[in-house]
Amino acid sequence: MADPVKLNDRHSEFKKKAMELIPEGGNLDLCFTCGTCASGCPATGLENMDPRKFLRMVLLGMDEEVASTPWVWMCTMCQRCIKACPMSVDIPQLVYWVRDAWPRDKRPTGILKSCDVAMNTETCSAMGASVEDWTFVVEDVLEEVRESQPGWEDLQAPMDKAGAEFCLNQNSREPVTEPDEMVPLWKILHTVGADWTYPSKGWGGENYCMFLADSEAWEKMVRFKAKVVDDLGCKYWLNTE
């Protein structure tokens, strides 16, 4: 029979590092295992894991198990657990630091490739859409709507309009696979008389580098997008993602 684990036999280097990095320590030591976090978590039960169990493993010093569980890539980072937790324990931030501990080439392929594609495309599109493709799709869809939908002959979808009040980004999948899905938002902005524009560069709304826990790439992408907005002289950045 295996000897029982004694809490003082284990010291979590991961927990120590995480608490130094997370603002105010993420309240990790305030958890009293009520399980409220797990009750509303969309990832509860996947890989035989849930937020409460994950946090307890961290607090028990089970670093190897915590660092190797694929459950951290199933967490949506929605922060529902923080809102539900009576002690506001920051589990998503902890999940982020676990992801960061994974070797980059071992992280989920889909997220990894999407981050790298976006970083190497001036549109920041995770689908790899070029400036030319993006501009063509917007103009083509706009023309079709004007010609085929009565009442929308004056619909606008400006591109690189300097000084517009709002700069709008876009989920990069829509212009590539579902271009018509862009139109309802155009109509809303048109109806309320908003002064807006799309940028031809940096319009990709999602940031897979954040989900990949690649902080350097995440920051670089956000700074690039923010510069695009500033260069256009827009007052507000409408982030649809």
User: 138 and 186 in contact (C-beta within 8 Å)?
Assistant: no
Q: Are residues 70 and 119 in the same domain?
A: no
- Cα distances (angstroms) measured from residue 83 to each of 15, 71, 79, 192, 214: 22, 20, 7, 33, 25
Which pairing describes strands 166-168 and 236-238: parallel, antiparallel, or unpaired? parallel
Rounded mean pLDDT, 36-61: 92
- Among 54, 77, 102, the domain-final residue is 102
Q: Hey, what amino acid is at 207? A: N
9 has a pLDDT exceeding 60: no
The model's confidence at residue 11, banded by pLDDT at 50, 70 and 90, is: low
For the chain, give the percent of residues with pLDDT over 70.
93
> Which pLDDT does position 59 carry in this prediction?
85
Flag whether 169 is in a domain.
yes
Q: Are residues 216 and 117 in the same domain?
A: yes
Q: Are residues 96 and 117 in the same domain?
A: no
The model's confidence at residue 6, banded by pLDDT at 50, 70 and 90, is: very low
Flag whether 116 is in a domain.
yes
Q: What is the pLDDT of residues 123-158, one digit of tens each?
A: 999 999 999 999 999 999 999 999 999 999 999 999
> Which pLDDT does position 105 carry in this prediction?
94
Flag whether 184 is in a domain.
yes
Flag whether 1 is in a domain.
no
Q: Are residues 70 and 170 in the same domain?
A: no
pTM value surpassing 0.85:
no
CATH of the domain at 52: 1.10.1060.10
> Which pLDDT does position 8 carry in this prediction?
43
State the sign of the Cα–Cα–Cα–Cα dihedral 15, 16, 18, 19: positive
Tokens 């212009």 identify what position?
A: 175
Flag whether 232 is in a domain.
yes
Flag whether 2 is in a domain.
no
The model's confidence at residue 3, banded by pLDDT at 50, 70 and 90, is: low
Q: Among residues 100, 105, 53, 55, which one has the least CA distance to residue 73?
A: 100
Q: Are residues 12 and 93 in the same domain?
A: yes
Domain range holding 27? 7-102
Q: Are residues 194 and 118 in the same domain?
A: yes
Separation of alpha carbons 87 and 84, rounded Å: 9
Q: Are residues 90 and 160 in the same domain?
A: no
Flag whether 230 is in a domain.
yes
The model's confidence at residue 47, banded by pLDDT at 50, 70 and 90, is: very high
- Cα distances (angstroms) measured from residue 68 to each of 38, 81, 89, 125, 231: 20, 22, 22, 30, 43
Rounded mean pLDDT, 176-182: 96
Cα radius of gyration rounded to whole Å, the chain: 22
Q: Are residues 158 and 227 in the same domain?
A: yes
Structure tokens at 141: 């869809």
Number of domains present in the structure of the chain: 2
> Which pLDDT does position 31 carry in this prediction?
83
Residue 126 CB partners (closer than 8 Å, separation 6+): 114, 115, 117, 118, 172, 173, 204, 206, 208
Separation of alpha carbons 139 and 1, rounded Å: 71
Query: 37-51, 52-66, 96-110: which has the minimum mean pLDDT?
Result: 52-66
The model's confidence at residue 178, banded by pLDDT at 50, 70 and 90, is: very high
Q: Are residues 15 and 98 in the same domain?
A: yes
Average pLDDT, the chain: 91
Q: Are residues 161 and 54 in the same domain?
A: no
Q: Hey, what amino acid is at 205? A: G
Separation of alpha carbons 82 and 89, rounded Å: 6
- Among 102, 131, 154, the domain-final residue is 102
Flag whether 233 is in a domain.
yes
Q: Are residues 97 and 185 in the same domain?
A: no
Q: Are residues 114 and 96 in the same domain?
A: no
